[in-house]
Chains A and B, each alone.
Chain A
């Protein structure tokens, strides 16, 4: 299998044949963007200071070391639970033109719709691999909204073959986590039937 690398700016055409469960890598620009940044744009209607058109966001709060003179280095970076951004994501995609949303765990209906209508993907970076992820960040190009503190600031990162990124929602609105959940629940019920017969310890 050859490595599928997407490079920003990303177009609708680039994403056309990508399906849930596929693995891709990203080169170019990814911006950390989580709870408060979403709320500021959608609820408070404050425009984002970075143009995200054709680019990627990362639901993440990094540990960053400052070298003075607005020079920074990422020490560790890993995804946070995407579901917390669910309530804003559809409008967020619509307003920013962002193409890739990277995080942890699945997202819901709202994001499915956003991805389908505006041709975007939700992707999962395997959580707990914060040092590995940090080594894929070549440089922090800019930082915005520093008033939000280190985890919530918008860190504009230049990355090279950042991944593996697993497609959890594709541009047709298919949802890998939702699909898996149905199967998991079915198997769980089967296992309950099997096990419960063998644990009648109270006689």
Chain B
């Protein structure tokens, strides 16, 4: 964009674009997920599993064509923001994101999924106190902003679990924690799942890491060799359980396992598991300081 916008116009432009982006995420899965689902469906010989995959593909085509949310649970919007210190709207960003969720809720429409706690009423606007969730990172010497947008459903990735193990339990304990979650909760969380595993020093660092893990592309690898090894071991292991689509049995269980890790206290191993469902509605958009954008997750799509 060449014309210089004033602050109000900038805010309006970004709100409109983000609102459209949220709508897009509701009816179109990112390329990595679409491709992986195709790949998994081709590996199924079980007729039941095949029919379920066919239904999914038909549903996604229809959702895109009719511009309707592909799943009725449009979740709670979670934004993971990496903001350059010099991005012009850094101070306005929280409001912009909240307003864009409100706008998209009216326009798409999205389901009203925000209930104020203790007062226990649905705001009817799909936004509320602290909702959408916005998580920040600030980047030095940058005037861009990267925004991961995630529709987190009530039956999959909002009910994550975290615990703190004793070092004596080791990474064996991490493996057990993840596997147990697959056969108890994972079966009903709409497999094939994308599993986010967070390892850190406490429940909240592990939990945050596990959510960030779900933002990483399907098929990507942790840079640490041991962590990458565990990703592969867990992926193969969970696949061998054979949950299949919808937990009704099949050749595979997951789209992948992503581990994100940070350092720990000598006395603790924090671990968290987040289960992203097959309808893994995440998108990544990057704005430069002129508010021109690039959508990295959905190739060839403009807003």
Chain A interface residues (CB < 8 Å from chain B): 1, 21, 23, 60-63, 75-78, 81, 83, 104-106, 124, 126-135, 164, 166, 176-177, 180-181, 183-185, 187-188, 190-192, 194-196, 198-202
Beta-carbon contact of B47 and A181 below 8 Å: no
**B72 with A23: CB separation less than 8 A:** no
Residue from A75, A78, A83, A135 within 8 A of B71 (CB atoms): A78
| B242:A187 contact, CB within 8 angstroms | yes
Chain B residues contacting A164 (CB-CB under 8 Å) are 51-52, 55
Residues of B close to A177: CB separation below 8 A: 187, 247
**List of B residues within 8 angstroms of A127 by Cβ:** 71, 155, 190, 246
- The smallest beta-carbon distance between B9 and chain A, in angstroms, is 33
For the complex, give the distance between the alpha carbons of A149 and B58 in Å.
30
Given A21-B48, A202-B170, decide whether A130 and B175 contact each other with a Cβ distance below 8 A.
Answer: no
B-side residues, CB < 8 A to A, are 47-48, 51-52, 55-56, 58-59, 62-63, 66, 68-73, 109, 111, 155, 167, 170-172, 174-176, 179-180, 182-183, 187-188, 190, 226, 229-230, 233-234, 237-238, 240-243, 245-249, 277-279
Q: Which residues of A contact B243 (CB under 8 A)?
A: 184
**A23 / chain B contacts, CB cutoff of 8 Å:** 47-48, 51
Which 4 pairs across A and B sit closest by C-beta, in order of nearness?
A191-B237, A132-B59, A129-B59, A199-B171
- Using A105-B188, A198-B229 as known contacts, say yes or no to A166 and B172 having CB atoms under 8 A apart: no
The residues of B that contact A192 with a CB separation of less than 8 Å are 175-176, 179, 237
Structural contact, A129 and B248, CB atoms closer than 8 A: no
11 A-B contacts (beta carbon < 8 Å): A60-B72, A63-B109, A127-B155, A127-B246, A130-B68, A132-B55, A188-B182, A195-B175, A195-B234, A199-B233, A200-B172
Q: Tell me the nearest residue of chain B to A185, going by C-beta.
A: B183
Cβ-defined contact, B278 with A196, below 8 A: no
Chain A residues, Cβ within 8 Å of B237: 191-192, 194-195
Shortest distance between the CB of A164 and any CB in chain B (Å): 5
CB-based contact B241/A184 at 8 Å: yes
Task: Say which residue of B55, B175, B248 sits within 8 Å of A196 (CB atoms).
Answer: B175
Bound form: Cα–Cα A130–B277 in Å = 15
Beta-carbon contact of B62 and A81 below 8 Å = no
* Contacting residue for B55 out of A77, A126, A199, CB 8 A: A126
Cβ contacts under 8 Å, B230 to chain A: 199
